[in-house]
Chains A and B, each alone.
Chain A
Amino acid sequence: MSLLEAEHVKAYYRVREGFVKAVDDVSLHLDRGVIMGLAGESGCGKSTLVNTLMLNIRPPLYLIDGRITLDGNLLSKMDKQTLKKKVWGVLVSIVPQSALNALMPTQKIIDLIKDIVHAHTDISDSEIVSMSRRRFEELNLPVEALNMYPHELSGGMRQRAVIAISTLLNPKLLIVDEPTSALDVSTQKQVLKLLVDLRKAKIIESMIFVTHDIAVLRQIADRIAIMYAGKIVESASTDDILYNSKHPYTYGLINAVVTPEPEVRKRGLISIPGEPPNLLKPPSGCRFHPRCPYAMDICRREEPPLVEVGEGWTVACHLVASGRR
């Protein structure tokens, strides 16, 4: 049985002009022990999707439709109280996109931990302190950081502390939203190492890693899902995405990656023309058609179906559906 199962999930923001269709009919599943990367351009709905998957939604965002099951629990039917007690922090934790700046400046890291843990369980303070110390030691983080204020820590250290805190209660699933985008490469590597170690130490089972940087995903993800304009357009193992991708948007994204490698130098630098669409009025048919070099008539009219092209490999593109790729 997979750990997370989402079927036909729709989550829209209600705004004055109508609905922003940030997550529109997304289905995905995540197996135990797997690190899945979620990639796509800014504004395509990555943050909205991962927050929806754990039912962390508040107006103007609404869950319009869909079923979400996590570790056998039907989250989409649970009320806020149950989610708070039984799910968040215990089964699934998220490190949100702005976590680096979201820490209370007047609170020491250890006090922050106490607050968070008390929200879920009634472990005693001294127990929490020793738990935290053990965890920081286990992950090779400096224990002194526990008694410091957020601003006394460097950006990378702060991010690692946040990750350690979020996983204190050993959630089965950890979601990290752009954890390294504000960090430089050396600090980024330390944070990525920590994430991998979490799984090695069996503190977490699975992880969803959100980013627009495919080179980072290549280093840690087993699978990659590519999102465009509120939809998952391709989902496959990391190697298939890198070497055999079938969706024009996927290889557009990959061709735009610039890393110091001979392969990249050889193929040259190719960017995707145009900008992502406005999700208030997404384009008809295939949402990528205004930017797609292969767009056909049918692409403008009909939405491409999600087709399974291999073991755990799905693509939504008319080229694939009609057997031309």
Chain B
Amino acid sequence: MLLEVKNLTKIFTVGFLRRKEIVAVKDVSFNVKESEFVSLVGESGSGKTTTARMILRLLRPTSGSVVFRDRDVWSLRTLNDLRWYWRQVHGIFQDPFASFNPLYKVDRVFYQVFTLLGDNDVDKESLVNEALKEVGLRPEEVLGRYPHELSGGQRQRLMIARCYLLKPKLILADEPISMIDASTRAGILQLFSKLRDEYKTSIIFITHDLGLAYYVSDRVLIMHKGSIVEEGSPEEIMEHPQHPYTKRLREDVPLLYRKWSGF
């Protein structure tokens, strides 16, 4: 098993005087096999991003564990161990606008990760150019520019290009909330499928769009109010949803060739 998530829980405490606890993720467990494409589907605020951050070892869980290749991720302490982890498990964030430090040229996100590769003799420039071409960007169009000079779609691709550069074993991709066009989205999905097919990369794809999940995944996890309420193949989920929330979700996805009744 590549990744095992066991009883993951995250409770945020907010407020200063009147403290309030928000259970963002509640007792979530699942596994991911090598070269498996798993989608995590749920509505806004269901805890998808929080789960991803805990798996990426960026946010400490309140309880539960994340085990990658038999090592408990939260027991990794030294920078070397952490680099070993992030070399193999990498993330792409939800907001392509917030993912770049506005003060630096976008090139920085690539040159940063060479510390993870550890090999200093590589021709960095040609590796970066290659990765950019893989995701359909022309290096001369994007390199040397500041983030605000690029479109949301371009930035999203830049982050994927970083994954092409690293070729990690597992990618957690948090899908942007519809800020990206449908047509651009299709292109981005193809990029993930290509990574999986060519390099056996496993993918955890996070989205609130059951349509996308149905299309690309081997397995779909439905998340609702912090818990995983249903799990199955895309066909099972679409054709025989069990949980009432899944049923509602399926009914609410707008379809192209079928019209909702009552509209």
Contacts and interface: CB of A to CB of B under 8 A. Distances in A.
Contacts of A215: 182, 211, 253-256
A194 to B, nearest CB: 11
Which size class do A's interface residues fall under?
35 or more
Interface string B135-165: 0100000000000000111100000000000
Interface in B208-248: 208-212, 214-215, 234, 238, 248
Contacts of A270: 186
B252 A261 contact: no
Contacts of B11: none
Contacts of B262: 193
Interface stretch (B79-87, B114-122, B173-181): B173-181
Contact of B256 (A212, A218, A269): A218
A68 B43 CA distance: 41
B178 A260 contact: no
Given A184-B44, A186-B43, A41 B181 contact: yes
B183 A41 contact: yes
A43 B43 CA distance: 27
Contacts of B255: 215, 218-219, 259-261
A272 B183 contact: yes
Contact of B257 (A186, A188, A220, A263): A263
Contact of A155 (B44, B182, B189, B258): B44
Contacts of A271: 183-184, 186-187, 190
A170 B215 CA distance: 42
Contacts of B53: none
A275 B151 contact: yes
Contacts of A261: 255-258
Contacts of B77: none
A297 B145 CA distance: 34
Contacts of A242: 256-257
28 contacts: A42-B153, A181-B178, A182-B179, A183-B44, A184-B44, A184-B177, A185-B208, A189-B254, A216-B254, A218-B255, A242-B256, A255-B186, A256-B183, A258-B185, A258-B212, A259-B211, A260-B210, A260-B214, A260-B215, A260-B238, A261-B255, A261-B258, A271-B183, A271-B184, A271-B186, A271-B190, A272-B183, A275-B153
Interface of B: 43-44, 136, 151-154, 177-187, 189-190, 208-212, 214-215, 234, 238, 248-250, 252-260, 262-263
8 residue pairs, one from A and one from B, having the closest CB atoms: A260-B214, A271-B187, A256-B183, A271-B186, A256-B186, A215-B254, A185-B252, A184-B208
Interface of A: 41-43, 155, 181-189, 192-193, 196, 212-216, 218-220, 242, 252-261, 263-265, 269-273, 275
Given A265-B215, A269-B190, 11 more contacts: A181-B178, A215-B253, A215-B255, A219-B259, A258-B215, A259-B211, A259-B255, A259-B257, A263-B256, A269-B189, A271-B190
